[in-house]
Amino acid sequence: MNQIQNHGENRSGRPAILPVFLPHSGCKERCLFCNQKATGGKTVAPSSLPRSIESFLAELSPERRLGEKQVAFYGGTFTAMGQEEQLQYLRAVRPFLASQQIDSIRISTRPDAISAESIETLKAFGVQTVELGAQTMNDEILSLCQRGHSAEDTDSAVVRLRRAGLHVGLHLMIGLPGDTLDRFLRSLEQVIALRPNFVRIHPTLVLRGAPLEASWGNGNYRPLSLDEAIAWLKKGLLRLERAGIAVARLGLQPTEELNRHILAGPYHPALRQLVDSSIMLAMARALLVDGMDDGVVSFICHPREVSNLRGQGNRNVQELKKCFGLCEIGIVGQEAVPPGRIALRTRSGERSIQRKDLPV
């Protein structure tokens, strides 16, 4: 895989991000599920960073050049690296911040690697966003996964970072050893109470070379199925949306390297779309529950959501026909319908539902 990629996303207004991978850098423990060589890439040296930033900027479209641009240090535990090593990376970005070619820096680290001194250093060098690998707020699961930190460490880190004026993102995982749907949802309530700026959630995968491989191989660990992961993420996504907390990503970034390392688990390159499609199916079911006139119905939604309402391979349409005895289902995209709402039109009238109306 490429070490440097442009992960900016025009459609959401998110910044254009240059990810700099530092796999296992600063990590003092080896977590049960972890193999960052599969999920990140090779370590980028500080000396090569200016050239990478210049290439990143040159490849941006004119539109993206006008928007926010960030350098992100992903993988490992940035604030647990040696002080001089941290400074070498931060100093490499500093000229681009001074010239306003780069707007800010984001780093990823552990909840127990945040101190008053580290916060001061991060702010002094233009770090605006800190992503914390919380994974779960259940201490038993954290212990089983050999994380080496507690839920209280996450609480404390988020409070201190927010107090310092930094943006905070939390990384969560589902299906870890000892995890259940109920435990995940209780963790999520604790996360919501912390009010992070955003979260990322991905299902636990069994990766070749990770310690979890042995537990899976001897039958002591069973990963979630894809359908189970979608059901869990559907509930989690709806709760986070209702709380007004952004979900930056569901699932790991698809790469050839990741594909080579996956042994088991609910992986799909378009996991977010599958979850959104599941939510749309639930909305359609809620509208159809009262019965139909003659088996002919039409749904109306925003044009961007037509494919999610149909489902991959027209799966949702087929499911609705089977469950409700429908012979014809039309789906029409209309700009006047706001995202997150679908309307059902039948011979007897029209009714609608919003995404936020679904039970969580």
- Specify which residues 217 forms β-bridges with: none
Cα–Cα distance for residue pair 354/341, rounded to 1 Å: 4
pLDDT at 44: 81
291 domain residue, yes or no: yes
pLDDT at 40: 56
pLDDT at 177: 95
- One DSSP character per residue, 32-84 reads TT--HHHHT-SPPPGGGHHHHHHHHHHHS-HHHHHS-EEEEEESS-GGGS-HH
262 domain residue, yes or no: yes
Same domain, 84 and 132: yes
Same domain, 192 and 326: no
pLDDT at 24: 67
pLDDT at 254: 86
Q: Which residues of the chain have pLDDT under 50?
A: 1-12
4 domain residue, yes or no: no
Q: Which domain holds residue 305?
A: 280-357
Same domain, 185 and 75: yes
2 domain residue, yes or no: no
pLDDT at 41: 60
Same domain, 298 and 263: no
Domain termination site, one of 239, 269, 299: 269
Same domain, 203 and 284: no
pLDDT at 33: 73
Q: What is the pLDDT of residues 171-196, one digit of tens each?
A: 999 999 999 999 999 999 999 999 99
pLDDT at 259: 87
Same domain, 229 and 323: no
In contact, 34 and 75? CB cutoff 8 Å = no
322 domain residue, yes or no: yes
136 domain residue, yes or no: yes
5 domain residue, yes or no: no
Helix (H, G, I), strand (E, B) or coil at 248: strand
Same domain, 262 and 327: no
1 domain residue, yes or no: no
Same domain, 163 and 307: no
- Specify which residues 352 forms β-bridges with: 343
Cα–Cα distance for residue pair 283/314, rounded to 1 Å: 16
Q: How many domains does the chain have?
A: 2
Domain termination site, one of 243, 269, 295: 269
Same domain, 263 and 299: no
Q: Which single residue is written with the structure tokens 């079911």?
A: 285
CATH of the domain at 285: 3.40.30
Domain termination site, one of 250, 269, 288: 269
Same domain, 212 and 103: yes
pLDDT at 36: 59
Same domain, 258 and 291: no
In contact, 298 and 329? CB cutoff 8 Å = yes
Phi-psi region of 95 (alpha: psi -120 to 50; beta: other; left: phi over 0): alpha
Same domain, 134 and 177: yes
Q: Which single residue is written with the structure tokens 């404390």?
A: 156
pLDDT at 293: 58
Q: What is the pLDDT of residues 91-118, one digit of tens each?
A: 999 999 999 999 999 999 999 999 999 9
CATH of the domain at 167: 3.20.20.70
